[in-house]
Amino acid sequence: MSESHPVTNALPDLVVAADWSTVETKRWMVRGERVGNGYVVSPPEPVGDHKSLVARLRRTLPDDHGLLIGFDFPIGLPVEYAQKASVESFRTFLGEMVGRGEWERFYQISDLPSLRQPFFPLPKRQSGNFRAQHALALGFPHLAALRRRCEQRTTTRKAAECLFFTLGGAQVGAGAIVGWRDVIQPALAEVKLWPFDGDLVTLLATPGVTVAEIYPAEAYSHLGVSIGTGTGSTKTSRKARQRATSHWLVDFDAGPIRLSSAARSWVEWGFLAEDFDAMAGLLSMLQIVTKQRTNQTPNTVDVTRLEGWIHGQTC
């Protein structure tokens, strides 16, 4: 495992966390702007036109400054799937394979999934054993074999859903399609993908845009937030969000990470909905960037070339 410890002169000038959805009105982001050796956190705002997001954020900074963006969708391929599909590199996969030739229909959700059209199923009203059908169609004994290492269950959260599954409230497949197809792939030549293009120290030490994967359920454990499955508290309740994050008003009142007056008002109110996850994602990212926490990443070829990793998750 390797540890990333961003040095002071490599602090990005802007850090952004974007909570993702296939529905535009549910996509929110939060900014942290560098002031000296720390950051001031702004209130949540809509992502807006997601296709122009990277370019819009980049234009807010001079060319020689750095921008770190965290997206709440998977960035990477399960190693078992990649090996079966003969994919050696996630960056090469996005840049040279997806949308071309035999991979032309990769982003099209289908009720007849295959290795090169793996997203399944189309929206359903009836119940069924869709996970078993999915695994069988892709040639695996069960969908758990298609979880990346960072998506496995940890001591602080349950396992994430399989990347290619597109049914139910926990699914991430539809959001990944939008994120890869409309955001990352068009900007691939202009962005640095962590950890595929290097460790965080190296990427943040040079100007430009660095993209990382974030996961709100992981961020909760970094921020002392107890909410969601198994806690007796649901994040769909404003009062529950208000109680779960009230300590942020103290934790981020001073020091290298500070809530602006407007951001404090959102915490005090208890947020609207998806904006809550965007704020959690950003605060977790800033803890890493300001060295409040270390960023431990498995130093294996599977992770650094294919699967990727969740920002801030320990090995």
* Residue at 314 is within a domain: no
Domains identified in the chain, total number = 2
Would you say 227 and 234 are in contact if contact means Cβ atoms under 8 Å apart?
Answer: yes
User: Looking at the structure, do residues 184 and 293 belong to the same domain, yes or no?
Assistant: yes
Rounded to an integer, the average pLDDT of 49-60 is 96
Length of the chain: 315
User: Looking at the structure, do residues 9 and 64 belong to the same domain, yes or no?
Assistant: yes
* Residue at 288 is within a domain: yes
User: Looking at the structure, do residues 70 and 213 belong to the same domain, yes or no?
Assistant: yes
- Condensed to tens digits (0 to 9), the pLDDT of residues 11-43 reads 999 999 999 998 999 999 999 999 999 999 999
- Condensed to tens digits (0 to 9), the pLDDT of residues 218-259 reads 999 999 999 987 788 899 999 999 999 999 999 999 999 999
Phi and psi at residue 70, in whole multiples of 5°? -110, 130
Residue where a domain terminates, one of 133, 168, 203: 168
User: Looking at the structure, do residues 221 and 277 belong to the same domain, yes or no?
Assistant: yes
User: Looking at the structure, do residues 250 and 222 belong to the same domain, yes or no?
Assistant: yes
- Condensed to tens digits (0 to 9), the pLDDT of residues 111-134 reads 999 999 999 999 987 888 999 999
* Residue at 121 is within a domain: yes
pLDDT of 151 > 50? The answer is yes
User: Looking at the structure, do residues 109 and 213 belong to the same domain, yes or no?
Assistant: no
- DSSP H/E element including 67: strand 66-71
* pLDDT at site 260: 98
* Residue at 9 is within a domain: yes
User: Looking at the structure, do residues 142 and 271 belong to the same domain, yes or no?
Assistant: no
Across all residues in the chain, what is the average pLDDT?
A: 93
* Residue at 296 is within a domain: yes
Residue where a domain terminates, one of 117, 140, 168: 168
Rounded to an integer, the average pLDDT of 281-288 is 98
- Residue 170 sits at the vertex; the CA angle it makes with 199 and 311, to the nearest 5 degrees, is 15
User: Looking at the structure, do residues 126 and 100 belong to the same domain, yes or no?
Assistant: yes
* Residue at 231 is within a domain: yes
Note down the domain range covering 127.
Answer: 79-83+96-168
User: Looking at the structure, do residues 62 and 197 belong to the same domain, yes or no?
Assistant: yes
Residue with tokens 């293009």: 197
Strands 66-71 and 208-213: parallel
User: Looking at the structure, do residues 56 and 187 belong to the same domain, yes or no?
Assistant: yes
* Residue at 209 is within a domain: yes
User: Looking at the structure, do residues 292 and 265 belong to the same domain, yes or no?
Assistant: yes
User: Looking at the structure, do residues 115 and 156 belong to the same domain, yes or no?
Assistant: yes
Residue 192, strand partner residues: 210
Residue where a domain terminates, one of 146, 168, 190: 168
- Residue 194 sits at the vertex; the CA angle it makes with 191 and 200, to the nearest 5 degrees, is 110
Whole-prediction pTM: 0.94
